[in-house]
Each structure stands twice: as C-alpha cells, then as structure tokens.
Amino acid sequence: MPASKGREPGEASAGGAAAGRTRDQVVIGVDVGGTNIRAARVGSDGRVFQRFESPSPARDQEMMVDALVAVVAEAVAAGGGRGEVRAVGLGAAGYVLHETGVVMEAPNIAWRDVPLRSVVSERAGLAVFLDNDANAAAAGEHLFGVARGVDDFVYLTLGTGIGGGIFIDGKVYRGRRGTAAELGHVTVDPTGPVCGCGRRGCLEALASGTALEREAERLVALDPGSVLHGMSGGDSPGLEGEAVARAAEEGDRAALAAFEYVSLWLGIGIVNFIHVFDPELVVLGGGMARSGHLLLDSVRRSVAEHGIGSLVRDARIELSCLGGDAGVVGAAAMAWEGIG
Amino acid sequence: MPASKGREPGEASAGGAAAGRTRDQVVIGVDVGGTNIRAARVGSDGRVFQRFESPSPARDQEMMVDALVAVVAEAVAAGGGRGEVRAVGLGAAGYVLHETGVVMEAPNIAWRDVPLRSVVSERAGLAVFLDNDANAAAAGEHLFGVARGVDDFVYLTLGTGIGGGIFIDGKVYRGRRGTAAELGHVTVDPTGPVCGCGRRGCLEALASGTALEREAERLVALDPGSVLHGMSGGDSPGLEGEAVARAAEEGDRAALAAFEYVSLWLGIGIVNFIHVFDPELVVLGGGMARSGHLLLDSVRRSVAEHGIGSLVRDARIELSCLGGDAGVVGAAAMAWEGIG
C-alpha cells in the first residue's frame, strides 16, 4: 500500500529516477475467460495502471494460447518508462492443477491438459503464477479488497456461472490437486434445473446470473404489465441480468421475484458453506454482486432463515468492492504474493 | 505403534517393572453421547485395554457432567498396576468451541455453554482434550484407522444422525470457532424430509440410519411379501437399521431399495464434499458403515453417477475399520496427539 500512496496513475511514468524504480514496479494480472482475455498492469497496492483486452478464440487450444501470450506481451511492452514487470498472474476459468501449472479442462475453452504456466512463462520470459479464476479473485479480496485481514473466508463469484474460492489460515485452499472449491457445483436440488456441467440442481443452475435471467424471463411471461416486459419487447428475446437489476431497482414485481428466487438459493448454498467451514466472512463478487443491496439484503435474509442459528449468526456476508477489475486484480494479487 | 507391539492386552498388567512403565501408559478415551457415555483405556497404538459405560442422564446438565466425571474416575481407577493414565480425550456430541473447551449446545443433551474441558480436568486431575465426537472419530481414523498416512480426507459418521470431520494437512479443520464440518446439516433437498435440526432436506434427514429405517418402513408397507415385513411383525413397529441390513443381505427387495435410497443421497452429499475439498479419501464410519459393501458399493456408484467425472474419479471412498470402538479410540487419539 504505502509505496504508491498519494500518486495518481498518470504519475507512475513521470519519475524514471533510479530511486523511484521500486515504486513503479508492476505485475501483469490476466483474467482468462471463455469470452475475453483481460489483462492489466497492476501495482503492489492493487492499483490498475492500464487495461488490455482481446476476444477469446476459445474453440481452438493453440489459438487461445497464442491470444493469451499476445495480450501478455502487449501489456509488458506498454510499460515503456513505466517501470519493471515483475511477474505475470493468470486466473483461468477451468480446473487448474496448481502444482504442475496445468489447466486440466475448462467448461468454455477447448483446453485439455495444457501446461499453461510453463508455456506462458517461456514465451513471455517472466515468472508466471497460475490458478483458477475464482481462487485468484479470492486472493484479490484478501490482499486488496473486503477480506483484508480476514484469514478464513469463502468467496463466491456470481456471473454467468458461479465460481468459488476458499481461504484457510490466510492461504487459498486448493485440495489435493488444486480443483477444490468448485462451490458452484455443489448440488442443492437434485431434481432442479440442468446446469452447464450437465448435472441437475447445482448452485450455479439456481443462483447464477444465468439463473436470474431464466427466472426473470419465466416470470415476465406471467406479468405482461411489468417494466421488464416492456424492456424485453414482450416476446422474451432473452433478458440481460443488468436489465433485470435495473427493473428490480424500479420496483418491478417480476424482476424482484427473480432476485428473491436467486437469493433464496444462494442463501441455501451459503448456509451449506458456513456449516462446513465456519468462516468469519463470505464475500460475494462477480457481475451479480454489483446489484448491491438488492442482492445482499435478501441473501442475508435467506441465510438467517435456512441456517442453524448458532452456526450462521456470526458469519458476515459482504459484497466485493473490486468491481469489474476483480479478475485482473485478483490475478495480480496472486503474482504479488507469489514473488513474495 | 511399536511400544506395545506383540503384547496381548492381558499382559499389560503383568510386568510392573520400571522399565515397562512407558509401555503401559494409557489415555482414557470417552465418547459422550445422548444415550450412553462410553469410555476406554487406550494404549498409544490404539489398543483398547478395558471398556466402561454408563447411561446418559442427558436431560439434566449437572447430572450429565457428574455421570461423565464418574465414568472417567472409574476408568482411571481401574488401572491399578496397569500403568499410568496420561490424559483424557472427550469426543462430545454437539457444537464444541475448541479453543475455550466449551460445549455450546448439543442436539440431544441439555448442555448450554458448559466449560466441559476445564470442569472434567479439575475434577479428574488430568489433562483433558475435548472436541466434537465426529472430529474425534476422524482423528482416530488418522492415527489408527483407514486414514493413516492420509493428510486430506473427509470423514462421515453414519448413525442415528450424520456427523462430519475434515482433515486438512494432517490436522482437524475446525473453522473459526470450532463448529466447522457440520456435514450432516448440508442441505441437499430443501423440500425433502424434516431433519432433527428442524430444517428440511439435510443430508442427515436423507442418508442417516434414521432415514434408512424410515425408508424401509415406508417400502415394507408396499411389499407385504418381504422378509422385512415378517421381521417387523407386519404392523410397522419400527425397524432397526441392523434388521434392514440383514434383510438386504438376504436379498429382500424393500430392504435393498431402502439401502439404494440412502446410498443415492449419501453419494450426492459426498460429491458435494469432493467438489468442495478435493480430498484424497472419504471415510464412512458409524453404525451404518458396518453394513459393509452393501453400502459402500452403491455409494461409490452414486458418487460416480452424480459427480463431475474429472473431479470425483480419483477420490477414494472407504469404510472405517475401527468398528464399535471408533468413538472411544477417536477420543483417545485426540488425547495422544494432544500430549504429543
């Protein structure tokens, strides 16, 4: 934190004196998703200096690696006089074997047993730290976000899917191989809707942004007078989560009901995690968390209703404050922690 | 292990020479349940030298503590020339705050914030180690049972209820206060049967011995030709889990169906724990685990069917081999580990 305190991002390139060198050091944080590859130059205080983005050629393993390496190279080169790049942090969607740096498989990317850490490290000529994207985001919350100073917490990223990260004793908990914390694929209703993973009733199938949109579409059909109905054009061409959030803010009944549905299931999932982990804090991140208190209040209510009182009442539930940068900042946090 | 190797229990009292002193050291392991208090003198290799038992006056807090202290005193006194008692391990049903040694509450015992560790320690004049009974049983598996040499595993005790223990890096994971691993109270079907905790569709409500008996009774009513129907007298006076297991062994359809039901839900619960923890091993203990491969085979099938293939296929699922002594041996394991 103190290194860059009080300096504006624009100033980072102004110094250039040897004495200022350590202040200008950055890592490249990369959020490797099935739709986009996002990167950023991030300071040791979590400050984002510059952002980079490329679409993901997710269907082709080679092209995907090439695109990733190209974004990293662009982010490294962009520095110029802006200081030294210390390392690269990669937060990748999918099952990551942490010790070997291999992406075993990813739901939306054509990756099978890709030794991503060594490939990117060789081609970029930098130390690379690789983890699952949700673990990385959790690391970001721990170093720079709402979980600063909290060593035992559960992190959920609520977007198209649901990812999870678990911190125990101040460290990411990865399990035997690195694939622990698949919190979106905990079954909470075995006869429920089909999940992206092909199974039924995963938390992700009931409480993700996708579930919110599905519920809103179902409910709007029952309520032609709703604001949402107007937004959707009336013939349900697919509602965006943000539109549902806006409509809910305006008091739209269908949108509010969709939020209640998702919050109810999210509460049940969080209760399970509290009963299992007895954490100090549960952090909600990802796109859906940006709907703020609309989500948070009803999730807290659901947890209080569904949990065993003496177990859940002291566990805090908070929203991430890292916003849209959570992915790149999380990947950067991993890199900063990795280089010590 | 090596200390008492090759010696029969009866021989333990025979020596008496100073040189034999360390070989004869024991701890008192106590399993404090809502029905019975069971204790044993247990050697450092997990061998049970002598057992003690008393009914639990569970409805009265004072009487319950008195009964526990009396059993401990009896077990200590019984030693005579049999060697020195090093410590006492207590595995107690209920929510145990590990750091302070307090039982916050217990489902079947009238305990509210009882400082059990200090009370027993003072009255018995011995070091006391206290934990939740399932955590203690997991410690027993780790030191003396099927989880020897395995540092990351999930333990489930399947009896009237379902208790859980989690080992991470060779140590019991207790969470912030000590109430983690309430694995029986993870919700897997929010509209399912009511659990002892008052909530619906907990794993315990679907996959415990109680659930097995309930299912068997329901199914036997539909199948008057079944062996079980004969056993139950035909007018469902309540079937015992062991009778259901025997009938299933004999190929009784209703009993087999009840086992399939319980195994299916147990498999779903275990899948959740594997997705969350990525453990090396899942151990099934408690009374139901004694039905052996009848349970194990169908649980393994359910896990393979319900899990994400790449996540569950390498996780072993095994039965405890500690039998009816698992509770006292687990409590003793805690004590042996506690005194180092």
Mean of pLDDT over chain B:
89
A116-124 and A61-77 are packed helices; what angle lies between their axes, rounded to 10 degrees?
40
Nearest CA in chain A to B306: A199
Nearest CA in chain A to B308: A197
Say yes or no for a CB contact (<8 Å) between A175 and B183.
no
Distance CA(B156)–CA(A53), nearest Å, equals 46
> Is the pLDDT confidence value at B2 over 80?
no
> Is the pLDDT confidence value at A299 over 80?
yes
Distance CA(B258)–CA(B245), nearest Å, equals 9
Question: Which candidate from B176, B191, B308 shows the least CB-CB separation from A185?
Answer: B308
B253-277 and B293-306 are packed helices; what angle lies between their axes, rounded to 10 degrees?
50
Residue numbers in B near A308 (CB within 8 A):
182, 185, 197, 199
The distance between the two most distant Cα atoms of chain B, rounded to a whole number of Å, is 67
Nearest CA in chain B to A273: B186
> Is the pLDDT confidence value at B308 over 90?
yes
Query: pLDDT at position A223, please?
Result: 80
- A contact test, residue of B98, B151, B155, B278 with most A CBs within 10 A: B278
Residue numbers in A near B178 (CB within 8 A):
278
Query: pLDDT at position B82, please?
Result: 56
Contact predicate A329/A322, CB 8 Å: yes
Neighbours of B222 (CB within 10 A): 11
pLDDT in tens, B173-186: 999 888 999 999 99
Residue ranges per structural domain of chain A: 2-144+325-339, 153-321
**φ, ψ of residue A263 in degrees (nearest 5):** -65, -40
Query: pLDDT at position B11, please?
Result: 38
Distance CA(B182)–CA(B166), nearest Å, equals 10
User: Is residue A242 helix, strand or coil?
Assistant: helix
Distance in Å, alpha carbon of B262 to nearest chain A alpha carbon: 14
As given in the structure block, the two tokens for residue B47 are: 């061998």
Taking alpha carbons only, the member of A90, A103, A85 closest to residue A30 is A90
Neighbours of B50 (CB within 10 A): 17
ipTM: 0.87
Confidence of residue B290 (pLDDT cuts 50, 70, 90): confident
Q: H or E segment at A339?
A: helix A326-339
Question: Which candidate from B105, B190, B311 shows the least CB-CB separation from A310?
Answer: B105
Task: List residues bridging with A166 in a β-sheet.
Answer: A154
Class of the domain covering B2-144+325-338: alpha beta
Say yes or no for a CB contact (<8 Å) between A176 and B280.
yes
Say yes or no for a CB contact (<8 Å) between B278 and A188.
no
Residue numbers in B near A178 (CB within 8 A):
278
First to last CA, chain B: 14
As given in the structure block, the two tokens for residue B68 are: 């526990």
> Is the pLDDT confidence value at A13 over 50?
no
Say yes or no for a CB contact (<8 Å) between A278 and B180.
yes
Residue numbers in A near B95 (CB within 8 A):
310-311
Question: Which candidate from A95, A176, A186 shows the least CB-CB separation from B276?
Answer: A186
Query: pLDDT at position A20, please?
Result: 40
| One-letter amino acid of A171 | K
The percentage of residues in chain B with a pLDDT greater than 90, rounded to a whole number, is 74
> Is the pLDDT confidence value at A202 over 70?
yes
Query: pLDDT at position A239, please?
Result: 72
Residue A3 C-beta-side C-alpha neighbours within 13 Å: 17
Distance CA(A265)–CA(B236), nearest Å, equals 37
> Is the pLDDT confidence value at A8 over 60?
no
| One-letter amino acid of A177 | R
Which are the contacts of B157, defined by CB distance < 8 A and separation ≥ 6? B133, B134, B137, B163, B164, B165, B285, B286, B326
Strands (E), chain A: 26-32, 36-43, 48-55, 85-92, 95-97, 102-106, 109-114, 128-132, 153-158, 162-168, 171-172, 281-285, 316-319
Residue A97 C-beta-side C-alpha neighbours within 13 Å: 16
The percentage of residues in chain A with a pLDDT greater than 70, rounded to a whole number, is 89
User: Is residue B296 helix, strand or coil?
Assistant: helix
Say yes or no for a CB contact (<8 Å) between B306 and A188.
no
Distance in Å, alpha carbon of B146 to nearest chain A alpha carbon: 18
SS3 content of chain B, % helix, strand, coil (to 5): 45, 25, 30
**φ, ψ of residue B85 in degrees (nearest 5):** -90, 120
Say yes or no for a CB contact (<8 Å) between A278 and B190.
no
Distance in Å, alpha carbon of B279 to nearest chain A alpha carbon: 6
pLDDT in tens, A227-245: 777 676 544 446 788 889 9
> Is the pLDDT confidence value at B231 over 90?
no
Neighbours of A232 (CB within 10 A): 22
Confidence of residue A108 (pLDDT cuts 50, 70, 90): confident
CATH for the stretch A153-321: 3.30.420.40
Distance CA(A281)–CA(A147), nearest Å, equals 8
Query: pLDDT at position B236, please?
Result: 44
Distance in Å, alpha carbon of B267 to nearest chain A alpha carbon: 11
Question: Which candidate from B105, B168, B188 shows the least CB-CB separation from A187?
Answer: B188
Q: Are strands A316-319 and A281-285 parallel, antiparallel or unpaired?
A: parallel
Between B166 and B291, residue with greater pLDDT: B166
As given in the structure block, the two tokens for residue A237 are: 């061409």
**φ, ψ of residue A80 in degrees (nearest 5):** 55, -130
Nearest CA in chain A to B276: A181
Between A221 and A230, residue with greater pLDDT: A221
Nearest CA in chain B to A272: B186
> Is the pLDDT confidence value at B211 over 90?
yes
Which are the contacts of A243, defined by CB distance < 8 A and separation ≥ 6? A228, A231, A232
Residue numbers in A near B207 (CB within 8 A):
none
Query: pLDDT at position A14, please?
Result: 37
- A contact test, residue of B311, B312, B313 with most A CBs within 10 A: B311
Nearest CA in chain A to B315: A176
> What residues in chain B have their Cβ under 8 A from chain A's Cβ atoms?
95, 104-105, 152, 164, 166, 168, 173-183, 185-191, 197, 199, 268, 271-273, 275-280, 306, 308, 310-311, 314
Question: Which candidate from B95, B187, B278 shows the least CB-CB separation from A175?
Answer: B278
Say yes or no for a CB contact (<8 Å) between A188 and B183.
no
**φ, ψ of residue A239 in degrees (nearest 5):** -95, 140
Question: Which candidate from A181, A186, A278 shows the least CB-CB separation from B175?
Answer: A278
Residue B207 C-beta-side C-alpha neighbours within 13 Å: 33
Question: Which candidate from A190, A279, A310 shows the least CB-CB separation from B175?
Answer: A279
Say yes or no for a CB contact (<8 Å) between A278 and B177.
yes
Mean of pLDDT over chain A:
89
Q: What secondary structure, in 3-state letters, does A167-212 show?
A: EECCEECCCCCCCCCCHHHCECCCCCCECCCCCECEHHHHHCHHHH
Which are the contacts of A20, defined by CB distance < 8 A and separation ≥ 6? none
Q: Count interface pairs A-B at CB distance under 8 A.
A: 109
CATH for the stretch A2-144+325-339: 3.30.420.40
Residue numbers in A near B191 (CB within 8 A):
189
B2-144+325-338 and B153-321 in the same fold: yes
Question: Which candidate from B183, B188, B190 shows the least CB-CB separation from A276?
Answer: B183
Distance in Å, alpha carbon of A196 to nearest chain B alpha carbon: 11
Distance in Å, alpha carbon of B119 to nearest chain A alpha carbon: 23
Say yes or no for a CB contact (<8 Å) between A182 and B95.
no
> Is the pLDDT confidence value at B1 over 50?
no
Residue numbers in A near B164 (CB within 8 A):
276
- A contact test, residue of B156, B270, B272 with most A CBs within 10 A: B272
Residue A46 C-beta-side C-alpha neighbours within 13 Å: 20
Distance in Å, alpha carbon of B280 to nearest chain A alpha carbon: 6
